[in-house]
């Protein structure tokens, strides 16, 4: 049976007069992983829970393989879910946890045992089949939770910030495992997170949300390089905010001594004619070179392995972040004068 | 009851407030009936008692406050009430002076003995007050009358009776703070042990200490068994004796004890809620 | 209810069980390990001198709890002249003491079971209500107060309600229903159970609330997403998780009722023989010559019964605390 698509059509939900979801439209293609990304309170978890059937919506539809699932109760939706914490049933060992869904489907004990064993092996925990929740680390618990969700061969896999409660190293490791499992099994997946790095690295598609609405939904590279709104631009990765002057025709902007083309498009109507604006530029689009007559002064240099992030200050006090290959960063020490060169590429202004 | 604080009320959904409540409307009626029945069971007796103290059982129909106002004039009322209040005060003081440093020390230096001390503090549960009273007669036969024949023995024993909930309260409070770090910080800044205890530890477990103290006071005010068996005079004892003569006086005095205890316990509940509100919202992200 | 307030109730009204409260600050899994490692580190540094810090406490308990307990236990085996004898103990195994034990146990079991079941029903009904809503708060505060409410005031309150001059008695009379004719008085078994429930149910609430709260909504939701109906969830997850705290609470309620003195003292006219009352009457001299230590023997048996129950309760609590974490 092939994986279904999941569509959210004008999904709305309010709690006590506050709209947690405000007309969300989203399509998850069959077999792909879409991340719902956004700050706390943006409605991403609410959307996921509505998909799962754990919450109802006030308006709009959830369609799986084209069919509205509103009438289907949560325990019949055939969706696997992984929670942020307290995922596992503490009174059952790993194997029984994984086999739980199978038990609900009437599988006999032998088959359940076998399948649970397979799945635990899939997540690398065959040695832990008899362990209980309190005997496992956070990462192990989440792996078992994942195995449990996958055991029932769900049509859709839902993950609610599954890695947020884990340590950084485990988090990175586990997200790659989740992604590779997902691609291998080809399950339509919705993954909620507030961590943009996580979202960018595991998704086929990132849906950036804010205040119950969708800001942008696109492939990770596009969301990074071509943000539709200022919010997305700043939420994903880091952005410099530099003061600039817009030209009379609104097509170019003068910033840090350069004249750059203003990026057209996006979902926000930008300023049309001249005036002071804020320009958004990525640190990797800012180049710093040590120069005696440079206008910028290096304030701080943060070594990050392959890249060094330099914090420099312009004469008017504006701080600029620049990502420089560490190999060429040797002379950019605090106090040094440097010349700021912006890449010649369209920029976002607002 | 739980310290479940949701920092953004907008996002706290009914479903997280109680398991799977999204599509259940039917049980609401049943639940309301159940709650009403229980409410009736618990309130009617209280109402009946208050009504009784207002003269409800008398032939003349009116309610009157005469029993309440006349209470102060009853022979022995004031003296015994004072005695009980003093006992309560003494109990609380002794209890806290003994247990706060002990528990702090336990948490700091002997955490592996916590189980043992907990067990010891549960012993008063395993040895009923009746039996303790019995044992006092035997064990303290040779002690001076000034102690065993006075309120002192009560204070000393009420501390024991208070141990179970005192342990729980202080243990909870001490577990919830970074005790070792704080004490080490204080000591490294030059504070002596008493100063550290008084200025660093106690202020941070204020609610637990208050809780334990208040519960101890409530216990001391209402305790009957040991006082009765040791033939001592406290307010509850007086209530019982008055009861032999005049049911109204006895019930009224009992209601007084009840109100006092209730007030104290409301205090504890308020403190508890106040503390819960201070818990860092960051730590509760399980939405 | 005894003067010794219910021991395992949470530290104050409206507070979760201490272990759960403290530990909920640590997310499951990895971080919990740090806490455990921390205490292991401390253990190795313990010096014998540190034990001195516990000396005041130990001495106090030894004198004011240990000595009386010891006195009771040893005196149980002595006769009036101080010679060792089993006579007291064997006498207590016969009527009327034996009967009193059975009655005490009956009262305790009835009030414990009813209290536990009714309390659980009420707790579930309340936990479905909104957290911090009126119902929830009212019930938790009330149970905190009423669990400690016992002894004399309780007896008087019920006398005012269902006693011969009681309000409810009068209501029923005017409706044509005479209580005593139907065999109900406050001081028979039914009456005492009804009265005991007044503090047993709140005590049950106090003990079971943390356990119910400890049932994470995620478990119910996970079960649902895996295809379980509500019933199946309770059968396979909720029920098994609640069983230890429920049993523990049951035991606690039993011990509480068994040891209760004041209420029974104020209500009973001797028609319902209870062990605590018997001890009391022995202490006030109502005893045959040569059997002054009967009271101690009875006390010994009480310690045995209640002690066993409390031990069982503590073991069950350990088990609960494990998953409540």
List the one residue out of B141, B149, B282, B162 whose CA is nearest residue B220. B162
The sign of the dihedral angle between the CA atoms of C302, C307, C308, C309 is positive
- From chain C, the residues in CB contact with A73 under 8 A are 224
**Domain-located, residue A1:** no
What pLDDT sits at residue B47?
87
- Kindly report the CATH number assigned to the domain that includes residue A195: 3.40.50.300
- From chain C, the residues in CB contact with B19 under 8 A are 215, 217, 219-221
For B8, nearest residue in chain A (alpha carbons): A41
- From chain A, the residues in CB contact with B18 under 8 A are none
Asked if residue A310 and residue A215 are part of one domain, the reply reads no
Asked if residue A187 and residue A149 are part of one domain, the reply reads yes
Q: Inter-chain contact C237–A92, Cβ cutoff 8 Å? A: yes
- From chain C, the residues in CB contact with A160 under 8 A are none
Strand order in the sheet with A213-218: A79-82, A156-160, A188-193, A33-37, A205-210, A213-218
| Coil, strand or helix at B43 | helix
- The whole domain housing A287 covers 238-349
Q: Inter-chain contact C29–A165, Cβ cutoff 8 Å? A: yes
- Kindly report the CATH number assigned to the domain that includes residue B164: 1.10.3720.10
Quick: pLDDT tens for A28-70: 999 999 999 999 989 999 999 999 999 999 999 999 999 999 9
Quick: pLDDT tens for A181-209: 999 999 999 999 999 999 999 999 999 99
The answer to whether residue C152 scores a pLDDT higher than 70 is yes
| Structural contact between residues B133 and B226, judged by C-beta atoms closer than 8 angstroms | yes
The answer to whether residue C185 scores a pLDDT higher than 80 is no
Asked if residue B43 and residue B110 are part of one domain, the reply reads no
B17 touches chain A (CB under 8 A): no
Give me the residue from C72, C130, C166 closest to B48, CB to CB.
C166
Q: Inter-chain contact A55–B15, Cβ cutoff 8 Å? A: yes
**Count of residues making up chain B:** 287
Give me the residue from C127, C266, C309 closest to B18, CB to CB.
C127
For B99, nearest residue in chain C (alpha carbons): C57
Q: Last residue of some domain: A208, A231, A254?
A: A231
| Domain C86-324, CATH homologous superfamily name and number | MetI-like (1.10.3720.10)
List all residues 6 or more positions away from A136 whose beta carbon is below 8 Å from its beta carbon.
Answer: A94, A128, A144, C29
Mean pLDDT score, C218-232: 92
Q: Inter-chain contact A15–B12, Cβ cutoff 8 Å? A: yes
For C63, nearest residue in chain B (alpha carbons): B139
Interface test with A, best of B21, B25, B287 (most A CBs within 10 A): B287
Mean pLDDT score, C15-21: 37
A54 touches chain B (CB under 8 A): yes
Asked if residue B181 and residue B220 are part of one domain, the reply reads yes
- The whole domain housing B33 covers 28-64
Asked if residue A177 and residue A154 are part of one domain, the reply reads yes
**How confident is residue A213, by pLDDT bands cut at 50, 70 and 90?**
very high
- From chain A, the residues in CB contact with B284 under 8 A are none
- The percent of residues above 70 in pLDDT, for chain C, comes to 80
Could you tell me which residue, A189 or B1, shows the higher pLDDT?
A189
A75 touches chain B (CB under 8 A): no
List the one residue out of B131, B104, B275 whose CA is nearest residue B201. B104
Question: Average model confidence (pLDDT) for chain C?
Answer: 78
| Coil, strand or helix at B76 | coil
| Structural contact between residues C11 and B176, judged by C-beta atoms closer than 8 angstroms | no
- From chain C, the residues in CB contact with A76 under 8 A are 227
- From chain B, the residues in CB contact with A15 under 8 A are 9-13
Q: Inter-chain contact C16–B218, Cβ cutoff 8 Å? A: no
Quote the CA–CA distance of B169 and B176 in Å, as a whole number.
11
The answer to whether residue A274 scores a pLDDT higher than 80 is no
Which of B:66-125 have CB within 8 Å of A? none
The answer to whether residue A123 scores a pLDDT higher than 70 is yes
Buried b (16+ CB within 10 A) or exposed e, A177-199: bbbebbeeeebbbbbbbbebebb
Asked if residue A183 and residue A167 are part of one domain, the reply reads yes
Could you tell me which residue, C306 or C146, shows the higher pLDDT?
C306
Total number of domains in chain B: 2
Q: Inter-chain contact C30–A139, Cβ cutoff 8 Å? A: yes
**How confident is residue C131, by pLDDT bands cut at 50, 70 and 90?**
low
Strand order in the sheet with A296-304: A286-290, A337-342, A296-304, A307-313, A319-325
Mean pLDDT score, C169-191: 80
ipTM comes to 0.82
Question: Average model confidence (pLDDT) for chain B?
Answer: 79
Q: Inter-chain contact A85–B286, Cβ cutoff 8 Å? A: yes
Q: Inter-chain contact A54–B20, Cβ cutoff 8 Å? A: yes
Q: Inter-chain contact B47–C167, Cβ cutoff 8 Å? A: yes
Asked if residue A281 and residue A335 are part of one domain, the reply reads yes
- The 3-class SS string of chain C reads CCCCCCCCCCCCCCCCCHHHHHHCCCCCCHHHHHHHHHHHHHHHCCCHHHHHHHHHHHHHHHHHHHHHHHHHHHHHCECCCCCECCHHHHHHCCCCHHHHHHHHHHHHHHHHHHHHHHHHHHHHHHHCCCCCCHHHHHHHHHHHHHHCCCHHHHHHHHHHHHCCCCHHHHHHHHCCCCCHHHCCCCCCHHHHHHHHHHHHHHHHHHHHHHHHHHCCHHHHHHHHHCCCCHHHHHHHHHHHHHHHHHHHHHHHHHHHHHHCCHHHHHHCCCCCCCHHHHHHHHHCCCCCCCCCCHHHHHHHHHHHHHHHHHHHHHHHHHHHHHHHC
What pLDDT sits at residue A249?
81
Mean pLDDT score, A304-325: 90
- From chain C, the residues in CB contact with A172 under 8 A are none
Question: Average model confidence (pLDDT) for chain A?
Answer: 90
Quote the CA–CA distance of C93 and C99 in Å, as a whole number.
9
For A75, nearest residue in chain B (alpha carbons): B20
What pLDDT sits at residue C180?
72
- Distance from first CA to last CA of chain C, Å, rounded? 32
Give me the residue from A15, A86, A164 closest to B11, CB to CB.
A15
Mean pLDDT score, A123-140: 93
Inter-chain contacts counted by CB atoms under 8 A, chains A and C: 101
Quick: pLDDT tens for B38-49: 889 988 888 888
| Structural contact between residues C151 and C3, judged by C-beta atoms closer than 8 angstroms | yes
List the one residue out of B86, A194, A59, A91 whose CA is nearest residue C320. A91
Tell me phi and psi for residue B215, to 5 degrees.
Answer: -65, -35
Asked if residue A226 and residue A313 are part of one domain, the reply reads no
The answer to whether residue B99 scores a pLDDT higher than 90 is yes
What pLDDT sits at residue C26?
35
Other Cβ atoms less than 10 A from the Cβ of C25: the count is: 15
**Domain-located, residue A253:** yes
What pLDDT sits at residue C36?
41
Asked if residue A69 and residue A157 are part of one domain, the reply reads yes
Give me the residue from C30, C224, C240 closest to A138, CB to CB.
C30
Give me the residue from C7, C16, C220 closest to B165, CB to CB.
C7
Enter the DSSP assignment of A127.
G
Asked if residue B191 and residue B266 are part of one domain, the reply reads yes
Give, in degrees to the nearest 5, the angle at Cα A128 between A127 and A129: 105
- From chain A, the residues in CB contact with C30 under 8 A are 137-139, 166-167, 170
- From chain C, the residues in CB contact with A133 under 8 A are 28, 323
**Domain-located, residue A153:** yes
What pLDDT sits at residue C133?
72
What pLDDT sits at residue C43?
47
**How confident is residue A266, by pLDDT bands cut at 50, 70 and 90?**
low
Tell me phi and psi for residue B148, to 5 degrees.
Answer: -75, -20
Name all chains with 3 or more CB-CB pairs below 8 Å to chain A.
B, C
Interface test with B, best of A13, A41, A70 (most B CBs within 10 A): A41
Asked if residue B162 and residue B46 are part of one domain, the reply reads no
What pLDDT sits at residue A216?
94
Asked if residue A190 and residue A130 are part of one domain, the reply reads yes
Residue-wise DSSP of A277-342: EEEEE-GGGEEEEE-TT-SEEEEEEEEETTEEEEEEE-TTS-EEEEEEEGGG-TT--TT-EEEEEE
Mean pLDDT score, C143-152: 74
Interface test with C, best of B67, B127, B274, B287 (most C CBs within 10 A): B127
Q: Inter-chain contact A20–B10, Cβ cutoff 8 Å? A: yes
Per-domain residue ranges for chain C? Answer: 33-76, 86-324
**How confident is residue B27, by pLDDT bands cut at 50, 70 and 90?**
low
Asked if residue A242 and residue A225 are part of one domain, the reply reads no
For C324, nearest residue in chain A (alpha carbons): A90
Q: Inter-chain contact A84–B10, Cβ cutoff 8 Å? A: no
Strand order in the sheet with A240-246: A258-261, A252-255, A240-246, A275-281, A348-349
- C-alpha distance from B176 to closest chain C C-alpha (Å): 5
Kindly report which listed range (A100-114, A171-185, C161-175) carries the lowest average pLDDT score.
Answer: C161-175
Asked if residue B154 and residue B56 are part of one domain, the reply reads no
Q: Which position has the token pair 């010096």?
A: C47
What pLDDT sits at residue B59?
58
Asked if residue A202 and residue A323 are part of one domain, the reply reads no
- From chain B, the residues in CB contact with C142 under 8 A are 42
Q: Last residue of some domain: A215, A231, A247?
A: A231
Chain-centroid distance, C-alpha B212: 6
**How confident is residue B273, by pLDDT bands cut at 50, 70 and 90?**
low
| Structural contact between residues A206 and A223, judged by C-beta atoms closer than 8 angstroms | yes
Q: Inter-chain contact C141–B225, Cβ cutoff 8 Å? A: no
Strands A213-218 and A205-210: antiparallel
B2 touches chain A (CB under 8 A): no
Could you tell me which residue, C253 or C314, shows the higher pLDDT?
C253
Asked if residue A177 and residue A35 are part of one domain, the reply reads yes
B60 touches chain A (CB under 8 A): no
| Structural contact between residues B4 and B285, judged by C-beta atoms closer than 8 angstroms | no
Could you tell me which residue, B62 or C116, shows the higher pLDDT?
C116
- C-alpha distance from C215 to closest chain A C-alpha (Å): 10
B126 touches chain A (CB under 8 A): no
Asked if residue A12 and residue A113 are part of one domain, the reply reads yes
Inter-chain contacts counted by CB atoms under 8 A, chains A and B: 41
Kindly report which listed range (C33-37, C185-189, C290-294) carries the lowest average pLDDT score.
Answer: C33-37
- From chain A, the residues in CB contact with B9 under 8 A are 15-16, 18
**Domain-located, residue A293:** yes
What pLDDT sits at residue B275?
53
Asked if residue B143 and residue B81 are part of one domain, the reply reads yes
Give, in degrees to the nearest 5, the angle at Cα A251 between A247 and A252: 60
Q: Inter-chain contact C265–B228, Cβ cutoff 8 Å? A: yes
Q: Last residue of some domain: A231, A255, A289?
A: A231
Interface test with A, best of B2, B20, B22 (most A CBs within 10 A): B22
Give me the residue from C126, C166, C303 closest to B126, CB to CB.
C303
Q: Inter-chain contact B23–A46, Cβ cutoff 8 Å? A: no
Quote the CA–CA distance of C169 and C185 in Å, as a whole number.
10
Q: Inter-chain contact A133–C323, Cβ cutoff 8 Å? A: yes
What pLDDT sits at residue C295?
83
């Amino acid at each position: 049976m092939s994986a279904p698509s999941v569509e959210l059509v004008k999904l709305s939900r309010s709690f006590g007069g506050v709209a947690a979801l405000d007309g969300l439209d989203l399509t998850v293609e069959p077999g792909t992983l879409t991340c719902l990304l956004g700050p706390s309170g943006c409605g991403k978890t609410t959307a996921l829970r509505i998909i799962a059937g754990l919450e109802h919506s006030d308006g709009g539809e959830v369609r799986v393989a084209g069919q509205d699932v509103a009438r289907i109760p949560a325990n019949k939706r055939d969706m696997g879910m992984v929670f942020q914490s307290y995922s596992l049933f503490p009174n059952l060992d790993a194997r029984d946890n994984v086999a739980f869904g199978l038990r609900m489907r009437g599988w006999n004990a032998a088959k359940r045992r076998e399948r649970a064993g397979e799945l635990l092996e899939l997540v690398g925990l065959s040695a832990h089949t008899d362990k209980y929740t309190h005997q496992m680390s956070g990462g192990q618990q989440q792996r078992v939770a994942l195995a449990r969700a996958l055991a029932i061969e769900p049509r859709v896999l839902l993950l609610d910030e599954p890695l947020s409660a884990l340590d950084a190293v485990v988090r990175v490791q586990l997200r790659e495992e989740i992604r590779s499992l997902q691609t291998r099994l080809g399950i339509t997946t919705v993954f909620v997170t507030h961590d943009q790095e996580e979202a960018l690295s595991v998704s086929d598609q990132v849906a950036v949300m804010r205040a119950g609405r969708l800001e942008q939904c696109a492939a990770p590279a596009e969301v990074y390089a071509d943000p539709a709104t200022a919010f997305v631009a700043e939420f994903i990765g880091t952005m410099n905010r530099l003061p600039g002057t817009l030209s009379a025709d609104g097509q170019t902007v003068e910033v840090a001594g350069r004249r750059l083309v203003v990026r057209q498009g996006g979902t926000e109507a930008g300023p049309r004619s001249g005036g002071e604006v804020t320009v958004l530029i990525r640190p990797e689009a800012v180049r710093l070179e040590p120069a005696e007559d440079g206008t910028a002064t290096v304030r701080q240099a943060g070594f990050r392995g392959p890249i060094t992030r330099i914090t420099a200050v312009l004469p008017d006090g504006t701080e600029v972040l620049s990502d420089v290959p560490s190999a060429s960063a040797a002379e950019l020490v605090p106090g040094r004068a440097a010349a700021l060169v912006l890449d010649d590429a369209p920029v976002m202004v607002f | 009851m739980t310290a479940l604080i949701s920092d953004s009320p907008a996002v706290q959904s009914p479903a997280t407030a109680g398991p799977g409540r999204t599509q259940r409307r039917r049980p609401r009626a049943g639940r309301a009936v159940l709650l009403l029945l229980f409410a009736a069971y618990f309130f009617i007796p209280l109402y009946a008692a208050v009504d009784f103290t207002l003269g409800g059982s008398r032939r003349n129909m009116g309610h009157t406050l005469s029993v309440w106002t006349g209470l102060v004039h009853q022979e022995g009322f004031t003296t015994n009430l004072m005695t009980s209040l003093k006992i309560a005060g003494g109990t609380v003081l002794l209890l806290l002076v003994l247990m706060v440093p002990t528990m702090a020390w336990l948490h700091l230096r002997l955490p592996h003995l916590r189980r043992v001390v907990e067990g010891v503090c549960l012993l008063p549960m395993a040895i009923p007050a009746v039996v303790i009273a019995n044992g006092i007669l035997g064990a303290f036969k040779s002690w001076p009358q000034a102690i065993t024949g006075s309120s002192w023995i009560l204070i000393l024993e009420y501390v024991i009776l208070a141990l179970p909930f005192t342990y729980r309260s202080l243990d909870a409070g001490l577990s919830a703070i970074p005790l070792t770090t704080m004490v080490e910080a204080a000591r490294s800044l030059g504070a002596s042990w008493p100063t550290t205890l008084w200025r660093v530890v106690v202020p941070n477990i204020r609610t637990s200490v208050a809780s334990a103290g208040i519960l101890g006071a409530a216990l001391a005010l209402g305790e009957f068994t040991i006082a009765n068996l040791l033939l001592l005079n406290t307010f509850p004892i007086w209530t019982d004796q008055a009861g032999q003569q005049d049911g109204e006086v006895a019930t009224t005095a009992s209601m007084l004890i009840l109100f006092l205890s209730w007030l104290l316990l409301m205090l504890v509940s308020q403190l508890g809620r106040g503390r819960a509100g201070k818990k860092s919202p960051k730590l509760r992200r399980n939405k | 209810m005894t003067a010794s307030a219910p021991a395992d109730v949470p530290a104050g009204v409206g507070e979760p069980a201490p272990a759960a409260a403290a530990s909920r600050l640590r997310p499951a899994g990895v971080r919990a390990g740090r806490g455990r490692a921390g205490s292991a580190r401390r253990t190795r540094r313990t010096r014998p001198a540190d034990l001195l810090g516990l000396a005041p406490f130990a001495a106090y308990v030894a004198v004011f709890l240990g000595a009386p307990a010891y006195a009771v236990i040893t005196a149980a085996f002595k006769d009036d002249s101080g010679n060792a004898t089993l006579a007291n103990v064997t006498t207590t195994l016969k009527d009327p003491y034996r009967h009193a034990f059975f009655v005490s146990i009956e009262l305790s079991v009835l009030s414990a079971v009813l209290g536990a079941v009714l309390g659980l029903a009420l707790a579930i009904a309340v936990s479905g209500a909104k957290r911090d809503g009126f119902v929830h708060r009212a019930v938790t505060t009330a149970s905190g107060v009423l669990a400690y409410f016992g002894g004399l005031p309780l007896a008087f309150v019920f006398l005012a309600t269902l006693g011969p001059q009681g309000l409810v008695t009068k209501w029923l009379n005017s409706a044509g229903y005479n209580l005593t004719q139907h065999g109900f008085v406050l001081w028979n078994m039914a009456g005492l159970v009804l009265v005991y429930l007044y503090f047993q149910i709140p005590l049950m609430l106090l003990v079971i609330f943390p356990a119910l709260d400890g049932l994470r909504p995620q478990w119910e939701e996970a079960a649902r997403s895996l295809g379980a109906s509500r019933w199946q969830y309770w059968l396979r997850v909720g029920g098994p998780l609640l069983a230890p705290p429920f049993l523990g609470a049951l035991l606690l309620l039993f011990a509480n009722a068994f040891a209760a003195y004041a209420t029974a003292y104020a209500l009973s006219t001797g028609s319902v023989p209870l062990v605590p009352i018997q001890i009391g009457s022995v202490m006030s001299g109502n005893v045959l010559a040569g059997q002054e230590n009967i009271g101690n023997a009875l006390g010994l048996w009480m310690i045995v019964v209640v002690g066993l129950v409390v031990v069982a309760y503590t073991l069950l609590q350990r088990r609960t605390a494990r998953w409540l974490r």
